[in-house]
């Protein structure tokens, strides 16, 4: 549009000038030394216009000629960059498809012409790692250590990943520590630090990393909760193995309430309490959780405590029958607790009812043990076989099908 407007203005100007000159062509006299030039105004204007155009072209071409070395250098640089990009794409594709030797060759060929050699050194080192050429890998990594900060970060991440692949978490953790000092809180560095800390069992460090990982977007809410749960479980297990009951209870209080609400974690914690001779505390926790919301898993865990006042626990569990009278898991728990309280006939009754409601291998095993204590070897054997069929997935042992062992037990006198 600008060109069009300019052309229109130029045409109108030329027409106007021509009209003026037609009325009076004018007269110009120039004297330079012994030279005298006489001409019309129109001729002078044409001469000046041609002179301006020629001078402009000469100046422009002279500038281009003076810039020629730099222009040629920039063109060569662009060609090298395009070639390096093609080699990077080829090397990455070969690396992804498992053509390690071709990938290393592509990356190595691009190194002399790459503007940012960090990616190429990292790719070549990865390919050499897969080829088992650790000397070449170390050579690439050593070259990368001399690069500027950004490129060194890329190669440092690659080094840490390779060390983790070789099951060397301690060396990887040290590399990542230095990287984090060089360029703090890079998401990938934090992810690898979490991996190394998990492998080393450094759960305190792992716990400190989680908020920063969520802040940097490396963990979404679901991943953050899952990681919190894993770290909490491992920390509890570590304290349960090496610490005291007081330390275990203190740690449980430090875990966020939302994480403590996880059933699997609560069951683990109750198991640790039981192992540290605090079965009463575990029983109390499970009863409180079940009073808030029924859970088959928590009910089964209550029956598997194996310590504490069995008769009292049985009485507490029997109170749940009012709302859960057709729950196979509750009858399984009642059977276990009755057996622990040495009330074998009641245990047999509860376990048989559990099997009628839903055949489970655990119920058959418990019933077999009870029958064995009652000196009914035949019935015990039938229960063990039925439980085995359930575990092995035999067609006749599908959930809800009346198994032969149930029929046999139904035919026996109470």
Q: Is the model's pTM score more than 0.85?
A: no
Domain boundary among 275, 308, 341: 308
In the predicted model, what is the mean pLDDT of the chain? Answer: 82
| pLDDT of 408 over the 60 cut | no
Is pLDDT above 70 for 20?
A: no
Question: End of a domain among 282, 308, 334?
Answer: 308
- For residue 86, tell me if it sits in a domain: no
On whether both 414 and 321 belong to a single domain, the answer is yes
Q: pLDDT tens digits for 284-303? A: 999 999 988 898 999 999 99
Counted domains in the chain: 2
| Final residue in a domain of this structure, among 308, 337, 362 | 308
pLDDT at 413 over 60: no
**Same-domain pairing of 254 and 330:** no
| Domain span including residue 356 | 317-414
Residues 253 and 284 in one domain: yes
pLDDT tens digits along 330-386: 999 999 999 999 999 999 999 999 999 988 889 999 999 999 999 888 888 999 888
Task: Check which CATH number belongs to the domain holding 338 and give it.
Answer: 1.25.40.10
Q: pLDDT value at position 70? A: 75
Domain presence at residue 193:
no
On whether both 304 and 334 belong to a single domain, the answer is: no
Quick one: pLDDT at residue 367? 92
User: Distance of CA 201 to CAs 121, 230, 309, Å?
Assistant: 32, 12, 36
Query: When comparing pLDDT for 188 and 113, which is higher?
Result: 188
pLDDT of residue 398: 44
Higher pLDDT pick, 268 / 13:
268
Looking at the fold, whether 341 and 258 belong to one and the same domain comes out as: no
pLDDT at 236 over 80: yes
The answer to whether residues 258 and 321 belong to one domain is: no
Q: What is the pLDDT of residues 86-110, one digit of tens each?
A: 887 888 888 888 888 888 888 888 8
């Amino acid at each position: 549009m600008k060109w069009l407007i300019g052309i229109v203005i130029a045409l109108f100007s030329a027409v106007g000038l021509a009209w003026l000159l037609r009325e009076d062509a004018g007269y110009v006299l120039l004297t330079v030394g012994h030279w005298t030039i006489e001409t019309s105004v129109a001729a002078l204007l044409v001469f000046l216009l041609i002179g301006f155009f020629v001078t402009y072209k000469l100046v422009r071409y002279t500038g281009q000629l003076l810039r020629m070395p730099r222009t040629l250098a920039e063109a060569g640089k662009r060609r090298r960059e395009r070639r390096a990009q093609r080699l990077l794409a080829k090397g990455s594709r070969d690396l992804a498809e498992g053509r390690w030797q071709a990938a290393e060759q592509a990356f190595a060929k691009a190194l002399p012409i790459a503007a940012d050699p960090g990616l190429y050194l990292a790719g070549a080192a990865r390919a050499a790692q897969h080829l088992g050429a650790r000397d070449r890998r170390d050579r690439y990594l050593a070259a990368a250590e001399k690069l500027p900060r950004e490129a060194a970060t890329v190669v440092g991440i690659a080094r840490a990943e390779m060390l983790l692949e070789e099951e060397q978490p301690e060396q990887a953790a040290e590399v990542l520590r230095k990287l984090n000092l060089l360029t703090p809180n890079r998401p990938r560095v934090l992810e690898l630090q979490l991996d190394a800390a998990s492998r080393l069992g450094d759960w305190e460090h792992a716990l400190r990393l989680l908020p920063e990982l969520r802040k940097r977007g490396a963990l979404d809410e679901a991943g953050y909760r899952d990681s919190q749960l894993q770290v909490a479980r491992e920390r509890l297990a570590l304290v349960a193995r090496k610490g005291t009951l007081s330390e275990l209870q203190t740690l449980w209080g430090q875990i966020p309430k939302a994480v403590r609400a996880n059933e699997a974690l609560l069951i683990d914690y109750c198991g640790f309490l039981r192992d540290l001779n605090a079965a009463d505390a575990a029983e109390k926790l499970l009863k409180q959780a079940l009073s808030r919301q029924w859970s088959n898993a928590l009910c089964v865990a209550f029956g598997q405590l194996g310590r504490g006042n069995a008769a009292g626990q049985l009485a507490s569990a029997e109170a749940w029958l009012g709302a859960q009278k057709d729950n196979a898991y509750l009858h399984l728990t009642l059977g276990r607790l009755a057996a622990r309280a040495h009330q074998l006939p009641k245990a047999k009754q509860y376990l048989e009812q559990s099997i009628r409601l839903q055949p489970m291998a655990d119920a058959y095993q418990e019933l077999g043990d009870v029958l064995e204590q009652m000196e009914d070897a035949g019935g015990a054997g039938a229960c063990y076989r039925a439980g085995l069929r359930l575990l092995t997935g035999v067609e006749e042992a599908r959930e809800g099908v009346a198994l032969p062992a149930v029929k046999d037990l139904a035919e026996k006198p109470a």
